[in-house]
């Protein structure tokens, strides 16, 4: 929604700028202090919602989702995946939008993004008063079907752990094996066997063990790792065969 000076200017733009009846909603996940977070916006004088937006006439769905992500987080080149379309006839019950085009029925396409929490400095936009992180287990009642969208994104992310690696966009550049395991456990909502987890991660051949250990810990502090970006990207394209 950048480029507009006021809400009225945005509403008046209407279908001159945007496709009618179609939107995107982004579930932006971040990992911080062993907690999986989701980024939410608070409408001015209204409820909380997922960051979303509309598709411009000469813009693809992916381009629109990436633009929305950049506007909310300032980040680019982030892992972003389309996961579901939401089009129930009553999904926007209680809609109070101003203007004819935005007040009509919309089908929304859901994307989820994985971002490094420490690099995100969320800011509200023209239509919102707040933008901040929530623990996924403490999300308030959201507008329309946005709770359903968020839960579907989390379900999809959990299922994807068996097919694709995660962590590159959620952990710092250098991390320990316990940190990586805690990330997976937090996403899955369950405890994993330490030896089996480490064995599977090493077998993926996407990690590089560094000749340094985590400082400030015990005498036998764990080694630090980083992702091999080339192999990580290859695994993202070709898929994995894991069993979490």
Domains within the chain, CATH numbers bracketed: 7-160 (3.90.79.10), 175-238 (1.10.10.10)
Interval 149-166: pLDDT, tens: 999 999 999 998 888 888
- CA–CA distance, 243 with 222 (Å, rounded to integer): 25
- CA–CA distance, 26 with 118 (Å, rounded to integer): 19
Q: Note every long-range contact of 147-154, with CB atoms under 8 Å and residues 24 or more positions apart, other chains counting.
A: 148/86, 149/25, 149/27, 149/50, 149/84, 149/86, 149/108, 149/110, 150/27, 150/38, 150/50, 152/83, 152/84, 152/110, 153/27, 153/29, 153/83, 153/84, 153/110, 153/112, 154/27, 154/187
Q: In 3-state terms, the chain is what percent helix, strand and coil (to 5)? A: 30, 30, 40
Q: Which tops the pLDDT comparison, 212 or 13?
A: 212
CA dihedral over 238, 116, 179, 34, signed as positive or negative: negative
Query: Beta strand pairing status for 18-32 and 107-115?
Result: parallel
Interval 199-242: pLDDT, tens: 999 999 999 999 998 876 656 789 999 999 999 989 888 887 76
Binned at pLDDT 50, 70 and 90, residue 40 comes out as very high
Cβ neighbours of 45 (radius 10 Å): 7
Interval 42-96: pLDDT, tens: 988 889 999 998 999 999 999 999 998 888 888 887 788 999 999 999 898 877 6
Q: 73 — phi, psi (to 5°)? A: -120, -20
Beta strands in 87-206 (DSSP E): 107-115, 128-135, 175-176
pLDDT of residue 150: 97
Interval 91-105 mean pLDDT: 75
pLDDT of residue 60: 95
Interval 89-108 mean pLDDT: 79
pLDDT of residue 99: 60
Distances (CA, A) of 142 to 8, 67, 77, 170: 24, 22, 28, 24
């Amino acid at each position: 929604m950048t480029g507009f000076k006021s809400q009225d200017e945005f509403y008046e733009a209407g279908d001159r700028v945007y496709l009618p009846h179609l939107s995107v909603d982004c579930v932006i996940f971040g990992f911080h202090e062993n907690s999986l977070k989701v980024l939410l916006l608070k409408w001015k004088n209204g409820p909380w919602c997922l960051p979303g937006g509309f598709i411009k006439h000469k813009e693809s769905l992916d381009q629109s989702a990436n633009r929305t992500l950049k506007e909310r987080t300032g980040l680019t080149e982030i892992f972003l995946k389309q996961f579901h379309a939401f089009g129930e006839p009553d999904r926007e019950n209680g809609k109070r939008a101003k203007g004819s085009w935005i007040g009509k029925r919309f089908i929304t396409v859901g994307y989820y993004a994985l971002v490094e929490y420490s690099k995100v400095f969320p800011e509200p936009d023209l239509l919102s008063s707040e933008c901040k992180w929530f623990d996924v287990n403490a999300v308030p009642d959201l507008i329309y079907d946005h709770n359903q969208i968020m839960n579907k994104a989390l379900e999809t992310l959990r299922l994807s752990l068996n097919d694709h690696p995660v962590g590159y966009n959620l952990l710092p550049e250098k991390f320990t094996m316990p940190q990586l395991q805690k990330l997976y456990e937090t996403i899955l909502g369950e405890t994993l066997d330490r030896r089996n987890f480490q064995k599977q991660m090493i077998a993926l051949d996407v990690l590089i063990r560094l000749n340094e250990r985590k400082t400030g810990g015990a005498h036998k502090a764990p080694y630090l790792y980083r992702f091999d970006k080339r192999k990580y990207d290859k695994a993202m394209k070709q898929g994995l065969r894991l069993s979490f």
